[in-house]
Structure 1
Amino acid sequence: MAVEPLFSWPARVYWEDTDAGGVVYHAQYLAFMERARTEWMRAQGYGQELLRNEYGLVFVVRAMEIDFLKPARLDDALSITAAVQECRKASMVFAQSIRRGDELLVTAQVRIAALHADSFRPRGIPQPLLGQLQAHLPEQQPDDPLQTNP
């Protein structure tokens, strides 16, 4: 089920983002997506410093599935999307994409874990943040994606 992007962050490809051929280096896409997720959280009123200082919470990437469809190149104007696809008590999944205009370049599914800022041990996402994140979910979210109804 496709999730409509709830947030889009613009980026320009600079020389430092590319290899010698002027093509975006594969690891740089991860940085672009990290920035989009960070700015999405900031737009919700929860910047990284606020989460760490006031809630003792940090979010870290636990797993990522990424599909490189087409290359981005030097000077391209990109749009990086981030949409909450799943949200549980101590984790969430973002669906992300990178586009150049209407052209889809990269898709990714990113699992994020909530950790204590000091111990880096798993912890629950505090309310009201959890409620705000869950409000952005697609309408139907199965509790267990492995369960199916006959």
Structure 2
Amino acid sequence: MPQSDYDTLLGRLEGTRHIFPLIVYYEDTDAGGIVYHANYLAFAERARSAMLNLLGFTNRNVAERHKVAIAVRHCTVDFKRAAQLEDRLTVESRVIKLGGASLGFEQKIKRGGEELVVIEIYLACMSLEGLRAQRLPEELRTVFNRYLDVNKD
């Protein structure tokens, strides 16, 4: 089935991985044309949101239907090489942990086949009222469980 233009902007699913393409724009870089370090986290966030969309959800509808938000609990970032202005990158995301109230992702930002940044990020499901940990909604758990990939590359 052909993808719409909107779906193409969300990347694609390949097996248990989500592949999200992006281009480095001027606004992503420092004065030397190198991607500013914090922007890699923004690229990863964008990719996770796109994956959620492809799986049939949005952050907004999860909040409205289930009265929860997904928040970052812990993150490690391994910077291996720098990306530069106008590089064409991909963010490759995979679910590596699925807990009662949490999700874990490994996200690799690549230029071609070269790994530039590896991010391991753990998210917590929080109630909107009281901001306490809350179980991941069952429909999200079911979908993310299909993409759980605990195999190391």
TM-score over 0.5 (shorter chain): yes
Superposition TM-score tier, normalisation by shorter sequence: 0.7 to 0.9
**What SS does structure 2 have at the residue aligned with 1:130?**
helix
Corresponding residue for residue 5 of structure 2: none
What's the RMSD between the two structures over aligned residues? 1.4
Q: Partner letter of residue 133 of structure 1?
A: F
TM score, norm. by length of structure 1: 0.86
How far apart, in 2, do the equivalents of 1:118 and 1:5 lie? 33
How far apart, in 2, do the equivalents of 1:18 and 1:72 lie? 9
1:22 counterpart = 2:48: no
1:32 counterpart = 2:78: no
Corresponding residue for residue 116 of structure 1: 127
1:78 counterpart = 2:89: yes
Unaligned 5+ segments in structure 1 are 141-150
Shift of 1:117: 2.2
**What SS does structure 1 have at the residue aligned with 2:46?**
helix
Q: Say which structure is richer in helix.
A: 2
Q: Please identify runs of 4+ aligned residues in structure 1 that moved more than 4 A.
A: none
How far apart, in 2, do the equivalents of 1:82 and 1:56 lie? 25
TM score, norm. by length of structure 2: 0.85
How far apart, in 2, do the equivalents of 1:75 and 1:120 lie? 39
Unaligned 5+ segments in structure 2 are 1-14
Report how many residues are paired. 137
